[in-house]
């Protein structure tokens, strides 16, 4: 155990994530809609000691009910459309959708007009964030998600200032 | 030509294709089974007027392809001769409409009927109930559906429903040039991308009567072992995660990251994408880079060894591995299990020892001291194979590597080429049928495809909460099977 923990300390010392940190957190739920497993490997790698996404408040959660962001990978096979829509429906609002990898974004070389595909993601769900790459590496995934976090925060702040503005709710009440 | 040269030509000769009449199909297969031929895969093609069915069998380093037309649309089943052919026959039925006489019930594989009775094994008795899991799982893993029939916490039966990720890659490859078809095989799965690509390239070269030169063999072997390295490190990390041992899981995840960074430095891609081509190799590694890579691999090896020792002495890990998810040798033979899972059950077979198109030389499969077929044995096999892989890589990186090419064997072209390559999960079969340099049919039967039925078999009689651990000890790809 001692050696294991020492090894981990060593790995953490050379953390290479160069993206600027952001305050806040995002709960992520991943859905594989027909990927080659490359995006899954890289998303899982984002939690390894070299990247450690959790220290930026990016947490992968077990259920769409707990999630702010739906991270979708793969070219959206026809057999995954229904489960994907169910997962999306289960999310609380406000919710965001991210296309992770070239297949979900819709720029993968191999994904043609196969009958078994319903994608890319934008044909099935509204897309808020596109993370291209085949597969995108953990650092690119982290950078894109941290940008999304900043943007989402600004949007929430703008919404809040609008709804809290001291304007009368009913113009008729003024008279 | 020297005697040695003639032997090499014979070893590289393409698979023998035996065309049989539909009524002789079963008898011929039975004859092969009696002579000790092993089932490697069965696939259908649409053919000119009527579908054709082919069965690939292997003995030693030789392959036979039995092929028949199916004018009536019905063929005798092989499931009682080779139980491993059950999944292949279901796929041939769902995609090409071939029915198999005697395969009852022929459950759907690619089709997903809403009624569970149509695809699950009926279980009767006192209070069995079903637990449905997936296709979306709680972790960051691929999509697939498991339906457990349990009493209390004990699993009585597990029915798998895969093919949620079926992308139709095999059909999409049809009509492409042989060189372009490679991408469809390679991108079926990221974690087995090199294996699938090498299997495809070798199948094409075998059909075109081409032999790889020394550099090409060395480059492909190097890539295959780099792939095995990061996969085995990942699998050990996954088994640690399966028992909730975070320090082990994270330490091996860090080693995997180092292996993938090495991949990036050597080939420009963390998953080695684009490093394999048909009939050539563009991989160049200079003296300095090779020495640096060897140095890094030795450091990864040292790390692996010391962490492995820690895991061996971590009682809370070891106590959870023994006796869980047992796959007996008989079951493994019956189901045609391949790869580390087969070796953990005492079947000392490794396709690397019969790969004349690769640079494995005198390769001997690992043998575990305790081939008990449980999670502990599968864990041990990975540890031993890591040693083997690191030694092979050290050997392969001795000196610089330049571009590779092929030379003609002087034989005639053959319209069908088959090739078998050992992936981190077991033997992968690729069959490529071509006409005038274009793909007519691509069939990929990966180690994961072969081993999924074994996961269901090993899960029986175990506790439901142990299933994630059992599943991770096989660590099969869904993408590889679904294609």
Write the burial class of residue A132 (CB in 10 Å: 0-12 exposed, 13-18 middle, 19+ buried).
middle
In angstroms, the separation between the Cα of residue B223 and the nearest Cα of chain A is: 17
Residues B357 and B282 in one domain: yes
Q: Please tell me the predicted confidence (pLDDT) of residue A2.
A: 72
Which of B411-428 are b and which e, b meaning 16 or more Cβ less than 10 Å from the residue's Cβ? eeebebbbbbbbbbbbbb
For chain A positions 17-46, those within 8 Å of chain B (CB to CB) are 30-38, 40-45
Asked if residue B333 is part of any domain, the answer here is yes
Residues B143 and B220 in one domain: no
Mutate to test the interface with A, among B165, B261, B304 (most CBs of A within 10 A): B165
Q: Report yes or no: A3 at the B interface, CB cutoff 8 Å.
A: yes
The whole-angstrom distance between residue B31's C-alpha and the CA centroid of its chain comes to 26
Based on the structure, what is the number of domains in chain B? 3
**pLDDT tens-digit series, residues A66-89:** 999 999 999 999 999 999 999 999
Return d(Cα A158, Cα B13) in angstroms, integer.
Answer: 71
Residues B254 and B132 in one domain: no
Residues B75 and B204 in one domain: no
**pLDDT tens-digit series, residues A86-144:** 999 999 888 889 999 998 988 776 656 677 888 789 889 999 899 999 899 988 898 88
Return d(Cα B274, Cα B193) in angstroms, integer.
Answer: 9
Handedness of CA B466, B467, B470, B472 (dihedral sign): negative
CB contact under 8 Å between B168 and A114, yes or no, is yes
Asked if residue B126 is part of any domain, the answer here is yes
Beta strand B62-69 pairing with B52-59? antiparallel
The predicted complex's ipTM stands at: 0.88
Average of per-residue pLDDT across B103-114: 87
Q: Are B385 and B369 in contact (CB under 8 A)?
A: no
Residues B300 and B209 in one domain: yes
Per-residue pLDDT band at B445 (split at 50, 70, 90): very high
Residues B245 and B373 in one domain: yes
Q: Please tell me the predicted confidence (pLDDT) of residue A169.
A: 44
Q: Are B42 and B89 in contact (CB under 8 A)?
A: yes
Average of per-residue pLDDT across B34-41: 90
Can you give the residue range of the structural domain that contains B122?
A: 116-161
**pLDDT tens-digit series, residues B371-389:** 888 999 999 999 999 999 9
Per-residue pLDDT band at A171 (split at 50, 70, 90): very low
Strands (E), B390-474: 406-408, 416-423, 426-435, 438-445
Asked if residue B171 is part of any domain, the answer here is no
CB contact under 8 Å between A74 and B165, yes or no, is yes
Asked if residue B110 is part of any domain, the answer here is no
Asked if residue B2 is part of any domain, the answer here is no
For chain A positions 88-117, those within 8 Å of chain B (CB to CB) are 109-112, 114-117
Q: Which CATH number fits domain A25-154: 3.20.20.70, 3.40.50.12280, 3.60.15.10, 3.40.190.10?
A: 3.40.50.12280
Domain with residue B35: its CATH number is: 3.30.460.80
Domain boundaries, chain A: 25-154
Per-residue pLDDT band at B410 (split at 50, 70, 90): confident
Closest CA to B263 of B307, B304, B297: B297
| B276 to A72, A137, B234, B279, B438: CA distances (angstroms) | 28, 21, 22, 9, 19
Mutate to test the interface with A, among B254, B256, B273, B311 (most CBs of A within 10 A): B254
Q: Which residues pair with A71 in a beta bridge?
A: A30, A98
Lookup: tokens for A70: 């739906």
In angstroms, the separation between the Cα of residue B233 and the nearest Cα of chain A is: 12
Q: Residues near B158 by Cβ (< 8 Å), separated by ≥ 6?
A: B146, B147, B148, B149, B455, B456, B459, B460, B467
User: How many A-B residue pairs are in contact by the CB < 8 A criterion?
Assistant: 137
Residues B291 and B433 in one domain: yes
Domain with residue B428: its CATH number is: 1.10.645.10
Asked if residue B385 is part of any domain, the answer here is yes
Asked if residue B36 is part of any domain, the answer here is yes
In angstroms, the separation between the Cα of residue A70 and the nearest Cα of chain B is: 12
Question: Count of CB atoms within 10 A of residue B336's CB?
Answer: 23
SS (H, E, C) A44-107: HHCCCCCCCHHHHCEEECCCHHHCCEEEEECCCEHHHHHHHHHHHHCCCCCCEEEEECHHHHCC
Closest chain A residue to B137 measured between Cα atoms? A62
Residue B72 has pLDDT above 80, yes or no: yes
**Which backbone phi and psi does A92 adopt, to 5 degrees?**
-75, 155
Closest CA to A157 of A29, A24, A20: A24
Asked if residue B178 is part of any domain, the answer here is no
């Amino acid at each position: 155990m001692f050696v294991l923990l020492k090894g981990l300390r060593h790995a953490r010392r050379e953390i290479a994530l160069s993206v600027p940190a952001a305050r806040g957190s995002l709960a992520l739920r991943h859905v594989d809609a027909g990927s080659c497993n490359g995006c899954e490997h890289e998303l899982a790698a984002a939690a390894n000691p070299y990247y450690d996404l959790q220290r930026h408040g990016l947490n992968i959660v077990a259920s769409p009910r707990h999630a702010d962001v739906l991270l979708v990978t793969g070219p959206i096979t026809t057999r995954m459309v229904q489960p994907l829509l169910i997962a999306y429906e289960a999310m609380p609002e406000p919710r965001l959708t991210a296309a992770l990898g070239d297949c979900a974004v819709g720029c993968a070389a191999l994904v043609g007009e196969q009958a078994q595909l319903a994608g890319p993601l934008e044909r099935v769900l509204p897309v808020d964030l596109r993370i291209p790459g085949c597969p995108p590496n953990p650092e690119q995934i982290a950078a894109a998600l941290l940008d999304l976090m900043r943007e989402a925060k600004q949007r929430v702040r703008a919404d809040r200032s609008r709804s809290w503005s001291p304007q009368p709710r009913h113009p008729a009440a003024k008279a | 030509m020297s005697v040695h040269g003639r032997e090499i030509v014979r070893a590289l000769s393409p698979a023998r294709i035996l065309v049989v009449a539909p009524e002789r199909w079963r008898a011929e297969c039975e004859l092969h089974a009696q002579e000790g031929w092993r089932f490697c895969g069965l696939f259908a093609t649409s053919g000119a007027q009527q579908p054709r069915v082919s069965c690939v069998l292997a003995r030693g380093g030789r392959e036979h392809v039995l092929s028949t037309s199916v004018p009536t649309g019905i063929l005798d089943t092989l499931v009682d001769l080779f139980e491993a052919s059950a999944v292949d026959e279901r796929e041939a039925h769902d995609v090409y409409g071939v029915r198999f006489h005697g395969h009852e019930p022929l459950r759907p594989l690619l089709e997903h009927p809403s009624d569970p009775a149509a695809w699950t094994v009926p279980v009767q008795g006192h209070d069995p109930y079903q637990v449905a899991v997936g296709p979306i799982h709680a972790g960051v893993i691929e999509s697939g559906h498991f339906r457990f029939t349990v009493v209390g916490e004990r699993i009585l039966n597990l029915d798998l429903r895969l093919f949620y990720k079926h992308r139709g890659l095999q059909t999409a490859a049809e009509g492409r040039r042989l060189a372009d078809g490679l991408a469809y095989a390679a991108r079926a799965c990221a974690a087995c991308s090199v294996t699938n690509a090498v299997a495809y390239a070798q199948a094409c070269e075998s059909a075109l009567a081409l032999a790889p030169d020394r550099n090409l063999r060395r480059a492909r072997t190097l890539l295959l072992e780099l792939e095995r390295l990061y996969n085995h490190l990942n699998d050990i990390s996954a088994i640690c995660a399966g028992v909730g041992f975070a320090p082990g899981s994270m330490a091996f995840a860090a080693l995997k990251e180092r292996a993938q960074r090495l991949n990036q430095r050597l080939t420009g891609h963390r998953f080695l994408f684009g490093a394999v081509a048909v009939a050539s190799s563009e991989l160049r590694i200079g003296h300095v880079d090779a020495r640096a890579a060897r140095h890094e691999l030795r450091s990864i090896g040292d790390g692996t060894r010391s962490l492995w020792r820690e895991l061996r002495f971590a009682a809370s890990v070891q106590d959870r591995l023994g006796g869980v998810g047992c796959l007996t040798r008989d079951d493994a033979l019956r189901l045609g299990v391949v790869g580390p899972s087969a070796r953990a059950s005492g079947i000392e077979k490794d396709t690397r020892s019969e790969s004349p198109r690769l640079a494995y030389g005198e390769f001997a499969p690992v043998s575990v001291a305790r081939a008990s077929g449980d999670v502990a044995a599968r864990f041990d096999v990975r540890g031993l194979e890591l040693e083997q892989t690191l030694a092979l890589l050290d050997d392969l990186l001795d000196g610089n590597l330049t571009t590779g090419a092929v030379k003609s064997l002087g034989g005639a072209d053959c319209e069908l080429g088959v090739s078998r390559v050992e992936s981190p999960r077991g033997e992968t079969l690729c069959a490529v049928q071509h006409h005038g340099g274009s793909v007519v049919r691509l069939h990929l039967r990966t180690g994961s495809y072969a081993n999924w039925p074994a996961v269901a078999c090993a899960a029986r009689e175990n506790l439901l909460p142990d299933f994630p651990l059992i599943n991770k000890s096989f660590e099969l790809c869904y993408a590889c099977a679904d294609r």
